[in-house]
Chain A
Amino acid sequence: MKLHEIAHSRSGDKGDTSNISVIAFDMGDFAFLAEHVTADCVVDHFGDTITGTVMRYELPALGALNFVLTGALGGGVVRSLALDTHGKSFSSALLEFELPDKGSSFGSP
């Protein structure tokens, strides 16, 4: 199951740092997201695209996570050689993340 099926996302930029929110459509999925979408998973998912660290913040009242990625924007919006200098498309890139099947871990029939 892709993250896209249970969450939505928006990315923002400040200097060479990108932040990517991951927001559960259903508040009840927050714990599942928090368990499976860790900072390490985000590092693995983006690979060489980012050169710095990934920090995760949790917002249970909103059913959301916020990831902060340093060194992700090729020097920042004014310097970057990338086509998407803001890193706006990171949000959809993260929604490609593969989650385990929610049913299986609870032994559903």
Chain B
Amino acid sequence: MRTIRIGSGAGYSGDRIEPAIELAESGNLDYLVFECLAERTIALAQQERLKDPQGGFDPLLADRMKAVLSICRKNGVKIVTNMGAADPVAAAQATRDIAKALGLTGLKVAAVTGDDVLEQARASDVALDEGGSVKALGNRVISANAYTGAAPIAEALAGGADVVITGRAADPALFLGPLVHEFGWAMDDWDLLGKGTMVGHLLECAGQITGGYFADPGVKDVQGLARLGFPIGEVREDGDLVVTKVAGSGGQITRATVTEQLLYEIHDPTRYYQPDVVADFSQVRVEEVGPDRIHVTGGSGTPKTGLLKTSVGYLDSYIGEGEISYAGANAVARGRLALEIVRERLTLTGVKMTESRFDLIGVNALHGDALAEGRDPYEVRIRVAGRTDSLAEAVKIGNEVETLYTNGPAGGGGAWKSAREIVGVASALLPEAVVTSSVTFMEA
């Protein structure tokens, strides 16, 4: 039975680059996938594109492509990525230009488009999961991106692409696409599509399955985290999976690391909604078959819903923030006094906030007093954050914290402030019939 080896070269936009180079060189791969697009990242990319028409794709795309294109060409490894973010065509052009500069003549780059559904979302005035509708958001809406599936990725590969660049493709679809292409899986074989989605879900966060984001000293020790290896999925034609990594790389793959990743960002394990299938992870079994070799079986699926999750980006609000630190004797009391002063100042000067937080970092900033009581730290950093309707109003929040330098309690140091525009992301479901994906090829 045929087996395809897929490596995961990035688990998020800002991820390390060296593990991907290691995979391209020594992973004996067929495919290298870079998953670089979160809910948050697509909103930021759309915001970036508003400011700079050339700024809509992943900021590390050029660095990653320069690092791996030549090695992948030499080793016959195809690349699939959603680094296209808000502009897959521009990302593909940039990749083609890098390939040319590297002398990789004939390298074929494909851009998958169609996830940008702003017009369709407006025309159908789609309801938002959080309440309200696209129409109600009016001209505050800046983007709508539907999660597209594996089919256009498989189509690009069938067309001979060496590199496939998508926008808002669903994360597991980046892995399912190559499997559908290589194995000729039918797009209504729900069990196989469910298994392929499980493969993608396990691999998409890269280091999160090889021991990254897992270590807890003395309880869950992991070796070599500074040179963590990224995962390789050995996927059989019947959807069976072994997760492994390059021998000698840092980290570890165990039942525990695989189980944590399987449940990551999952709600009902019997219904993991994807554009191609509703995957079922409830009967998955995880078994160690060798050192850093974990066999995963039992994924399945049921028919897709015909609705695509769509992320609607909109200009939401502004956030102003300020921080300052106190140390030594009575530090927490001085920090609390500082917060009181800022709270009173914001009222006195009439700063209009719709929501606010007053945190003592190192004491209760993460989960409030209930979970952190009974501690007396040596130092404390205060943080004030508020939501406003204008940037000018947001700026005043950080300013009030900064004025503690000469107007607040004794010994405050390290003041910091910021004010920024917030692009909110709301979710909606669009009928797949209104979304048309297409593939554009270009050659170096």
Contacts and interface: CB of A to CB of B under 8 A. Distances in A.
Interface of A: 4, 8-10, 12-17, 19, 21, 23, 25, 46-49, 55, 57, 59, 61-64, 66, 68, 75-79, 81-84, 89, 93, 96
A13 B267 CA distance: 10
> Lowest 4 CB-CB distances: which A-B pairs, in order?
A12-B265, A21-B263, A81-B385, A10-B260
B141 interface: no
Contacts of A77: 38-40
Contacts of B266: 12, 19, 21, 66
9 contacts: A15-B425, A21-B260, A47-B368, A62-B262, A77-B39, A78-B422, A79-B316, A93-B366, A96-B371
Nearest to B285: A61
A23 B263 contact: yes
B269 interface: yes
A25 B265 CA distance: 20
Nearest to A14: B265
With most chain B CB atoms within 10 A of its CB, the pick from A14, A16, A79, A89 is A79
B213 A78 contact: no
B158 interface: no
Nearest to A21: B263
Contact of B283 (A17, A47, A61, A79): A61
Contact of B355 (A47, A76, A81, A96): A81
Interface in B335-376: 355-357, 359, 361, 365-368, 370-371
A46 B39 CA distance: 25
A25 B281 CA distance: 19
Contacts of A17: 267
A15 B427 contact: yes
B417 interface: no
A23 B424 contact: no
Nearest to A95: B216
B357 A8 contact: no
A23 B269 contact: no
Nearest to B282: A59
A30 to B, nearest CB: 12
A57 B269 contact: yes
A107 B216 CA distance: 32
B61 to A, nearest CB: 22
A96 B322 CA distance: 30
A62 to B, nearest CB: 5
Contact of B268 (A14, A23, A57): A57
A42 B118 CA distance: 39
B371 A8 contact: no
A62 B263 CA distance: 10
Contacts of A10: 213-214, 260-261, 263-264
